[in-house]
Structure 1
Amino acid sequence: MKRTIALSLFAAGLALNGSALAEAVVGQQAPAFKGVDAAGKPVSLDQYKGKYVVLEWVNPDCPFVKKHYDSGNMPVTQKYAADKGVVWLSVSTSADGDNSKKSAAINDWVKAKKAMPTATIMDTGGAIGRAYGARTTPHMYLIDPAGKLVYAGAIDSKPTANPSDIKGATNYMTLAIDEALAGKTLSQAVTKPYGCSVKYS
């Protein structure tokens, strides 16, 4: 009896946690947002209207993020996107208030990893993350020039923190970018994201 009650409460907790986040839906308009990047400059989705935009949720301390940055995979993917005219916005969501020290640390990390995001948005309080239903770092999205969400999910097909798995994995972001730019229906429009949990207050 106690086990049944405990399992019921656990299931209820999962349901509540899931419902706490809105879920941006592939095929519908991507949620608009405004924010400030790690350099203190304003950033909004509207300013990139007419371009493809990647959103990447990031946390430098997450082993799954380290997998893709320490190996160079994410910077290479960012360059691939940039070469095709795609805007790349990294998003750092935090439950607590960000300060200049944290922004500086993110900037230093981006430079150290030779990353190429168009901007890194400091999502203080998690408003942007909640709007998209971002759950993991990394969690990836692709928005088309009309503002429609066309991809949501994982960076690739191997949900591990092991860099050696990158070589044999399908990179869902480059696949989505290539298919979208070619005017094709995406073969993998929705995948299951993996990584560390995004923290919300």
Structure 2
Amino acid sequence: MRLAALLSAAALLLGSAADAVPKVGSPAPAFSATDSAGQAVTLSAYRGRFVVLEWTNAGCPFVQKHYQGNMQALQKEATAQGAAWLSVISSAPGKQGHVSGAEADALTRQRGAAPSKVLLDPSGTLGRLYAAKTTPHLFIVDPHGTLIYAGGIDSIASADVDDIARAKPYVKIALAEAMAGLPVSEPVTPPYGCSVKY
């Protein structure tokens, strides 16, 4: 009887750990993932730099909205200032957005995108580790490895490219504040887009 109770308690603890959502202000979840070139990429390798994690799916209209120039501009601005930008594809095989490494690289070239790396996460392990819900869904990790932002790219949850100019650019502001040594004024915002296709 006591053993069953202990096992039940252990299962609950393990379940809650697996379902844990990373908390802004806490260490960002460590990971090792494979990039589009087949190389292992770890978060720890970027210690000392800002890191932006961007969940993406080329078939999603919300992603397509931002890849008409907005996402590329953010990527180029961030990396020009020394940040690493990691685009993550967590679409499972057979689901919308799933691509091979070669297809991911072709897509990057075709869109004029400028991520530091594209991480392939067909098992959804990395996506679930960060509780990524939508494409796009963005996270910022500071040079000490602390998660300092989680949420939407901006404030208008639509697939209309005309809304970008009117929206509050959450990620752009958060990165600028953090790089200036200021606290992020809005560290958690609602993500919007298509559901991640786990």
- Taking structure 2 as the reference length, the TM-score comes to 0.87
CA contact (8 A) 1:59 1:137 kept: yes
- Where has structure 1 moved over 4 Å in runs of 4 or more? none
1:93 is aligned to 2:90: yes
1:40 and 2:38 aligned = yes
Q: CA deviation at 1:97?
A: 8.2
Deviations 1:4-60 (A, max 9, x none): xxxxxxxxxxxxxxx974311100000000011111111110110111000000000
CA distance in 2, matches of 1:133, 1:29: 15
Matched, 1:102 2:97: no
Q: Describe the superposition over 1:69-99 as per-residue Cα deviations: whole angstroms up to 9, x where unpaired.
A: 0x2100000011011111100000023389x
Query: Residue deviations 1:153-188, cap 9 Å, x none?
Result: 000111100000001111111101110011111111
Q: Please show how residues 52-201 of structure 1 align to structure 2 within 5 Å.
A: 52-69=50-67, 71-96=68-93, 102-200=100-198
Identity %: 48
For structure 2, the residue ranges without an aligned partner over 5 or more in a row are 1-16
Aligned to 1:76, what secondary structure does the other structure show?
Answer: helix
Q: Report the Cα offset of residue 132 of structure 1.
A: 0.5
State the one-letter code of the partner of 1:92: I
Structure 2 counterpart of 1:94, one-letter code: S
Which residue identity lines up with residue 78 of structure 1 in the other structure? Q
Matched with 1:26 is 24
Counterpart CA distance in 2 for 1:171 and 1:196 is 19
Q: Is the 8 A contact 1:151 1:190 kept in 2?
A: yes
1: CA distance between counterparts of 2:99 and 2:194? Answer: 22
* Contact 2:57–2:91 (8 Å) recurs in 1: no
Deviation track 1:138-158 (CA, whole Å, cap 9, x = no partner) reads 000000011000000000111
Contact 1:80–1:174 under 8 Å retained in 2: no
For structure 1, the 5+ residue unaligned runs are 1-18
Taking the aligned partners of 2:30 and 2:183, their CA distance within structure 1 comes to: 23
Aligned length: 181
Task: Give the root-mean-square deviation of aligned CA atoms.
Answer: 2.0
